[in-house]
Amino acid sequence: MKIFKTFTDFISEEALSAGEESKVYIDDQKLDSGPEIKAAEILGAITSSKTEDGFKDYFYKEYGEAAFAEGEMDILVGYYLDTEAEAAQAEKDAEKEEEDAEEGGDDPLADL
């Protein structure tokens, strides 16, 4: 018998989801200088940082600016930006649903 994995099962072995309904998956980041940054640490920095600069500062303080080769910080910032964009879109969708509920809530026959 063959065992098949869903996409989510396959991805979850290697990556960490940014949230239950998130489509952003964060992988461990192996730096050329040696250390490996775990996905959980990256996600923690994303959730605790208010700005992109604060996010970068965390990793520069933790690992040093010289630890990052060209493009490595860009990958981390990409995770941050993807997560922030997803959160902003979710907030926008929630506001739209609220507006739609308020507009349609007065007349139950408005959709007919």
79 exposure class (CB count in 10 Å sphere: 0-12, 13-18, 19+): buried
Is residue 112 domain-resident? no
Q: Which domain holds residue 73?
A: 7-101
Helix (H) or strand (E) holding 99: helix 72-104
DSSP, res 106: S
15-21 average pLDDT score: 63
**Of the candidates 50, 108, 112, the residue with the CA atom closest to the CA atom of residue 84:** 50
Whether 84 contacts 49, CB under 8 Å: no
- Across 14-23, 25-34, 46-55, 92-101, the highest mean pLDDT is recorded for 46-55
Residue 71 gets the label, from left (phi > 0), alpha (psi -120 to 50) or beta, of left
Is residue 1 domain-resident? no
Is residue 82 domain-resident? yes
59-76 average pLDDT score: 89
Is residue 27 domain-resident? yes
Band of the pLDDT at 65, cuts 50, 70, 90?
A: confident
Is residue 11 domain-resident? yes
- What total of structural domains would you count in the chain? 1
